[in-house]
Amino acid sequence: GEVRLCGVNPMVKNLARGAFLRVASDLTGGTPLETVKCRVTLSKDNALQSLRNILDEGGIANLWAGTPARTVEGALLGAAFLVGSASTKNQVMKLTGSKTLSSLSGGVVGGVIQAVVMTPA
């Protein structure tokens, strides 16, 4: 059986979907990669040296350090991206009928929304 969110506003659906997808992405690989990337940026080590140091300091669980804060951030960014992207794609598709243009426009608008949300005041 298929699970359907009957009677739920499409924007609310996209907020929930975007949040879920971004958090799932972070938990399955995004957070460990971000942890290594931050270490490389802050040190003179390369990626493999940084990974080795992270694992030596706290084991494999250390790759997911900061997960609670990253989960909140990811949920907000994922939700914002998907709402902006989906609504833009729908509008551009209605105006032009072009799947390519609507997908490109949706990605651009979603990305700009994420950048605005992430930019400190």
Within a domain: 3: no
Q: In the chain, which residues have pLDDT < 50?
A: none
Within a domain: 14: yes
Owner of token pair 């940026």? 41
Within a domain: 55: yes
Concatenated DSSP letters of 66-77: THHHHHHHHHHH
* Residues contacting residue 79 through CB under 8 Å, at least 6 positions apart: 14, 15, 16, 18, 19, 22
Residue 60 zone, left/alpha/beta (φ > 0; ψ -120 to 50; rest): alpha
pLDDT number for residue 70? 87
Report the domain count for the chain: 1
pLDDT number for residue 119? 85
- The model's pTM: 0.70
Within a domain: 33: yes
3 φ, ψ to 5°? Answer: -90, 130
Look up the domain containing 81 and give its range: 10-118
Within a domain: 1: no
Q: How far apart are CA 37 and CA 61, in angstroms?
A: 16
